[in-house]
Amino acid sequence: MKVTVVGAGNVGATCADVLATREIANEIVLVDIKEGFAEGKALDIWQKSPVIGYDSRTVGVTNDYSRTAGSEVVVITSGLPRKPGMSRDDLISTNAGIVKSVTEQVVKHSPNAIIIIVSNPLDVMTYQAHLTSGLDRTKVFGMAGILDTARYRAFLAEALNVSPKDIQAVLMGGHGDTMVPLPRYTTVGGIPVTELIGKEELDAIVQRTAVGGGELVKLMGTSAWYAPGAAAAQMVEAIVRDQRRVFPVCVKLEGEYGMDGVYLGAPVILGKNGIEKVIELQLNDDEKALLETSRGHVKEVMDALDKMNQANA
């Protein structure tokens, strides 16, 4: 069992570390364009194995995709991180080229791999990977909803002074300011969250979740990495171990929620074949309106990518 993580920066290295620590694959290959960078990160993770107690082997390579051949799952984290004052959409031109190049190499050496996109702007980079790979939507999808949901659950756990383990939640829509949290589908130990917290406080938590990534950029001067890396690793685990977990992921909608051809976060069943099923929730009018707003924003950026690709063709 081999899993590849492309991009040995903070997010990619964290993902590889979690995969190794949880022994999710026999071999984890880290790839980076910077000479010696992936090799060093992989060696450091491997040297931690006697301390923590795991035997997953981490290997690093510089731009040598032949070493990734036969990977079951590939996580793509490549691209520039956000800087203060930048939106995810500002990254589109540079990161689309990077994701396109990486996806071509991945498909060449691991044609049967399931591809998980973490690069920003997430929804549109997932679209780029889908265009480049030619793979079915069940095999190319993005990590966003798990991260956004984790932030939402963490904030709720703090506000309620309870364990985050007992909080279940669903978020939909684009990754960013137009995401659509769904308090109706949020529970704490099976109890609807609306019975435990007031509307004003809940709305504030929802708003903080929507700008959660930006909050961290302001604090650190760069994008988050612990939670995003761990979220991507959780998706890999669900696939490798065929757990059939229900997660919100960025997927191409093909008629679900009355939308077609747009990449948005939606709940799915994740297993050995990738996306086993897209779950269609019965949204109320307010939730539908929020999802439509999110769809419009993502579609605008998808259209901008299409124009760029046509200009570069």
Active-site residue identified among 109, 130, 175, 297: 175
H/E stretch holding 262: strand 260-271
H/E stretch holding 203: helix 199-210
296 annotated to bind ligand: no
Question: Which amino acid would we find at residue 273?
Answer: N
10 annotated to bind ligand: yes
pLDDT tens-digit readout, 135-186 = 999 999 999 899 999 999 999 999 999 999 999 999 999 987 889 989 999 9
Question: Which amino acid would we find at residue 147?
Answer: L
Is the confidence at residue 2, as pLDDT, over 90? yes
DSSP of 73-102, one letter per residue? Answer: EEEE--SPPP-TT--GGGGHHHHHHHHHHH
User: Contact 140/130 with Cβ under 8 angstroms?
Assistant: yes
The verdict on pTM exceeding 0.85 is: yes
Percent of the chain with pLDDT over 90: 87
148 annotated to bind ligand: no
> 74-88, 123-137, 242-256: lowest mean pLDDT where?
74-88
* Whether CATH 3.40.50.720 fits 2-144: yes
SS3 25: coil
Q: What gap in Å lies between CA 187 and CA 192, rounded to an integer?
A: 4
What is the chain's mean pLDDT, rounded? 95
Judge whether 175 counts as a catalytic residue: yes
Ramachandran region, residue 190 (left: φ > 0; alpha: ψ -120 to 50; beta: rest): left
| Domain boundaries, given as residue ranges, for the chain | 2-144, 145-304
The whole-number pLDDT of residue 9 equals 95
174 annotated to bind ligand: no
274 annotated to bind ligand: no
- Assign 223 a pLDDT band (cuts: 50, 70, 90): confident
pLDDT tens-digit readout, 45-85 = 999 999 999 999 999 999 999 999 999 999 999 988 766 77
The whole-number pLDDT of residue 43 equals 98
User: Contact 24/236 with Cβ under 8 angstroms?
Assistant: yes
Q: What gap in Å lies between CA 115 and CA 141, rounded to an integer?
A: 7
Structure tokens at 177: 């300011």
H-type helices in 211-257, by residue range? 212-220, 226-240
312 annotated to bind ligand: no
Strands in 167-168's sheet, in edge-to-edge order, are: 167-168, 187-188, 191-192
82 annotated to bind ligand: yes
Q: Which class for 86: exposed (0-12), middle (13-18), buried (19 or more C-beta within 10 A)?
A: middle
The CATH class given to the 145-304 domain equals: alpha beta
C-alpha distance across the termini of the chain, in Å: 37
